[in-house]
Amino acid sequence: MNTENTFIIDGSPIPFEPGQTVLEAALKADVFIPHLCYFPGLRPNGNCKLCTISINGKHSSACTTLARPGSEIENNTPALNDKRRLMLQMLFVEGNHFCPGCEKSGNCQLQALAYELEMMTPHFNHFFPNRKVDASHPEAFLDMNRCITCGLCVQASRDVDKKNIFILSGRGMASHVVINSPSGNLGDSDFSMSDKAASVCPVGAILPKHRGYSVPIGKRLYDGVPISSQTEFLKTRKA
């Protein structure tokens, strides 16, 4: 192993190629760092903060931090996982997430991380916001109750599909995704289920129509194998 391009995560050496972020290099080495707003091939966002790590004693987002030789990184520690659990609880109470009735259950990264980090309760009072459900498109549902404003659909639509259909608007707690169409409805846009933007959502905010529960609950992606053991899947997703 080339010791020059190596850093340490929780005591283990991780090789990296110059230009790689800590998260990319870790995933490549099958070391799991929790994340929601990162998707291979899309420019790192750094907004969910689930991948918060400690580099040489300083907190930072693994998805936006370039790997440097010799860095000493803490990742899977009780203190960091406590912070991550707190942020998951924040995301759960901020939106309306009812897993038992959600088609994404079992395939949802938010739910999988909650299991992974042993989030037993939402802890805080639910905000119960009024969010939009848009069923105007023939192929897709848009359920903003589940949106965590990670911005992946915005990026995929802009940078991969070149359609600019989604954009984040508002500020603070009023941040929300809006649709670039005359009526503001997805049905009025040129969105298609074959768009990259249709398949990057880590939660169940963008779902296909005419197909439900084709794989039964209990047999889905994260049902049998925890997300922390699925680095192979996570790193080979393509934007």
Partner 1 sequence: MSFDNSSAVGVLEPILERYSRNPHHLMQILRETQEHLDFIPQWATDYLAEALALPRTQIQSVIDFYAFFYDSPRGKYRILFSDNVTDRMQGNMALLSRMLSKFGLTQGQASGDGLLSINTTSCTGMCDQGPALLVNNHAITRLSSQRIDQICELIKEKKPLAEWPAEFFRVEDNIRRKDVLLATEMVNGQALKRAIELGPKGMLAEMKASNFRGRGGAGFTTAVKWEACRNAPGTTRYVVCNADEGEPGTFKDRVLMASFSERVFEGMTIAGYAIGAAKGFVYLRGEYRYMLEKLQATLEARRKANLLGKDILGQKGFDFDIEIHMGAGSYVCGEETALIESLEGKPGKPRIRPPFPVTHGYLDQPTVVNNVETLAKATLIAQNGGAWYHGLGTKLSTGTKLLSISGDCDHPGIYEYPFGVRIAQILEDCGARNAMAVQVGGAAGTCVARHEFGRKIAFEDVSTSGALMVFGNNRDMFEVARNFMHFFKHESCGFCTPCRVGTTLICDTLDKIANGKGTAYEMNELSRLHQLLRSASHCGLGQSAGRPVNDTLQKFRPSYDRRLKQKDFEPAFDLDAALIPAREITARDDIDAHLGADQ
| Side-chain-side CA neighbours of residue 105 (13 Å) | 12
Helix (H, G, I), strand (E, B) or coil at 129: coil
Instruction: Work out whether 169 is an interface residue with partner 1 (CB under 8 A).
Output: yes
Q: Binding pattern to partner 1, positions 181-210, x when CB under 8 A?
A: ------------------------------
Which CB, 185 or 221, lies closer to partner 1?
Answer: 185
Instruction: Work out whether 175 is an interface residue with partner 1 (CB under 8 A).
Output: yes
Q: What contacts 182, CB < 8 A, 6 or more positions away?
A: 188
| Side-chain-side CA neighbours of residue 88 (13 Å) | 27
With CB under 8 A as the contact rule, which of the stretches 130-138, 174-182, 213-221, 227-235 interacts with partner 1? Answer: 174-182
- Residues 116-135 touching partner 1, rule: CB under 8 A, are 124-125, 127
Instruction: Work out whether 94 is an interface residue with partner 1 (CB under 8 A).
Output: yes
E-strand stretches of 66-191: 72-74, 133-134, 140-143, 166-169, 176-179
Instruction: Work out whether 174 is an interface residue with partner 1 (CB under 8 A).
Output: yes
Instruction: Work out whether 48 is an interface residue with partner 1 (CB under 8 A).
Output: yes
Indicate which single residue of 87, 160, 193, 239 sits in contact with partner 1 (rule: CB under 8 A): 87
Which CB, 2 or 169, lies closer to partner 1?
Answer: 169
Kindly state the smallest distance separating residue 125's Cβ from partner 1, in Å: 5
Instruction: Work out whether 67 is an interface residue with partner 1 (CB under 8 A).
Output: no
Which CB, 62 or 198, lies closer to partner 1?
Answer: 62
Instruction: Work out whether 106 is an interface residue with partner 1 (CB under 8 A).
Output: no
Distance CA 24, CA 22 (A): 6
Instruction: Work out whether 83 is an interface residue with partner 1 (CB under 8 A).
Output: yes
With CB under 8 A as the contact rule, which of the stretches 11-19, 100-108, 161-169, 212-220 interacts with partner 1? Answer: 161-169
Which CB, 171 or 238, lies closer to partner 1?
Answer: 171
Q: Which residue has the tokens 């990259």?
A: 196
Which CB, 88 or 106, lies closer to partner 1?
Answer: 88
Helix (H, G, I), strand (E, B) or coil at 94: helix
Instruction: Work out whether 68 is an interface residue with partner 1 (CB under 8 A).
Output: no
DSSP string, 166-224: EEEES-GGG-EEEE-STTS-GGGTT--TTSGGGS--SSSSEEESS---SS-TTSSHHHH
Distance CA 135, CA 14 (A): 45
Which CB, 17 or 82, lies closer to partner 1?
Answer: 82
Report which of 26, 13, 25 is spatially closest to residue 228, judged by C-alpha positions: 26
